[in-house]
Structure 1
Amino acid sequence: MAGDRAPSSGTKRRLIAGAQRCITARGFGATTARDIAAETGANLAAVNYHFGSKDALLTIAMLDAIGAWTSQLDQAVLEVDSDAPLQRLERFLRGIHRTLTEQREMVVASVQAFAQAEYSEEIRGALIDVYEQARANLPKLIFGDSGEVTAQQRGVGSAVLAMINGFVLQWLIDPDTAPDPAELAAGVAALAPSPPTAGTE
């Protein structure tokens, strides 16, 4: 294709999206440049031309998926409109649940980034940034507090982050048997009937 021989943001975007679909279908290690070219209808040479190598494209595709997943979390936060911490948590999880069904390819690609973080400083750095932001922002979501995050609230953020990761993995393995947000919220309530209030240490 003649368009693949000239710089084209449209071609690059198409290759990234195609790489994400290939990662979802085949896994990072099994995806080849030919797979991506076939998936997108682009020239095989376009992969190297725009990204330098197949692995560079796959890395960018996973970083893009991480960014998209973070945006989905942010959107879920914006949709929370309750004052009760437990209800805020459940509604937030419902927002995440919806993104799982709507954006499965993106979610799978972002989850595969965890394994590749062992070998890519770029992917590891992106995940570190995402996690650090989540630890700071999730307590504000749960408690509705825009002030400074206390050490205890940061612990809550870490716990909710662990819950999100576990929820996503269970859903990817089998959506039919994975817990729904109401079950998760009820489990949290059973463990901590009186959750800490904002600003406590």
Structure 2
Amino acid sequence: MARTEAGGYRERLLAGAVSCLQEKGYARTTARDLVAASGTNLASIGYHFGGKDALLNEALAEFFDQWIAQVERAMFSSQPGSAREMLERAMTELVDRFEELRPQLVVFVEGYPAALREAALRERLAESYARCRRAGADMVRRAVAQFGIELPVAPEVLVSVLVAITDGLLLQWLLDPAATPDARQVVDSLAALSSLIA
């Protein structure tokens, strides 16, 4: 694993944790791996994070937060022509980047089984999902205000459904990328569903 030199110990540990998670996975990463990857020492893990598991949990949560921020930038980086175009931008950032994000997605999926047995990781992932729902709901409110649309459901519910779709698609993509719909197909499918049940 490549040693991470930049930044203070906390930042180096986080960067090293991301590297270890991508190369070894959640369960197989040891404290010594983290030290080697970050160029720090064992005591720094306890000092900055309280322990190895807390550091790994924080690294997973940080990836989640960065992805949410990228979605927001994509949605609002320039003036969209329609609400559909804005949804396509969001889904492109969520779905069409699976190949680029593959190492992080594998780590994310590997975190689920560990979270079923480790309360601290389960709570950390639940917090990440809660932040995702809040941030997504804020984006939805901003978008509907921009287009003068009134939603028939709470923004948090809409975001939860979109997150579920994204999570399901990433699992499908990890197993069979060629059979997984892209962002445009996802939006077309949502529009088709809407017309069927409206």
TM-score, scaled relative to structure 1: 0.72
* Match for residue 128 of structure 2 among 126, 129, 133: 126
Change (3 A) 1:104 1:149: farther
Q: How does 1:14-163 map to 2 (within 5 A)?
A: 14-79=12-77, 81-97=79-95, 99-118=97-116, 119-120=119-120, 121-138=123-140, 140-141=142-143, 143=144, 145=146, 150-152=151-153, 154=155, 155-163=157-165
Per the TM alignment, residue 59 of structure 1 is displaced from its structure 2 partner at its CA by 1.6
Aligned pair count? 188
Would you say 1:193 and 2:195 are equivalent positions?
yes
Q: Pick closer, same or farther for the CA change 1:9–1:41 going to 2, 3 Å.
A: closer
- Residue type of the alignment partner of 2:187: A
Residues 12, 39 of structure 2: 8 Å contact kept: no
Say whether the 8 Å CA contact 2:75–2:87 is kept in structure 1: no
Contact 1:47 1:53 in 2 (8 A): yes
Alpha-carbon RMSD across the aligned residues, in angstroms, is: 3.3
Structure 2 stretches lacking a partner, 5+ long: 1-5
**Displacement, 1:129?**
2.7
For 1:81 and 1:30, the matched residues in 2 are separated by 45
Distance change (3 Å), C-alpha of 1:134 and 1:65: same
Conserved? CA contact 2:26–2:56, under 8 Å: yes
- TM-score for both structures, normalised by structure 2: 0.73
1:177 is aligned to 2:187: no
Contact kept in structure 2, 1:76 and 1:96, CA below 8 Å = no
Q: Deviations over 1:19-71 (max 9, x none)?
A: 12222233222211122223334334443343331112112212212221221
Amino acid at match of 2:163: L
Q: Say whether the 8 Å CA contact 1:32–1:54 is kept in structure 2.
A: yes
The Cα of 1:183 is off from its aligned counterpart by 1.5
- Structure 1 alignment gaps of length 5 or more: 1-7, 197-201
Q: Residue type of the partner of 1:18?
A: G
Deviation for aligned residue 1:98: 5.2
Q: Which moved more, 1:57-66 or 1:37-46?
A: 37-46
Q: CA deviation at 1:144?
A: 5.6
User: Once the two structures are aligned, what percentage of the paired residues are identical?
Assistant: 29
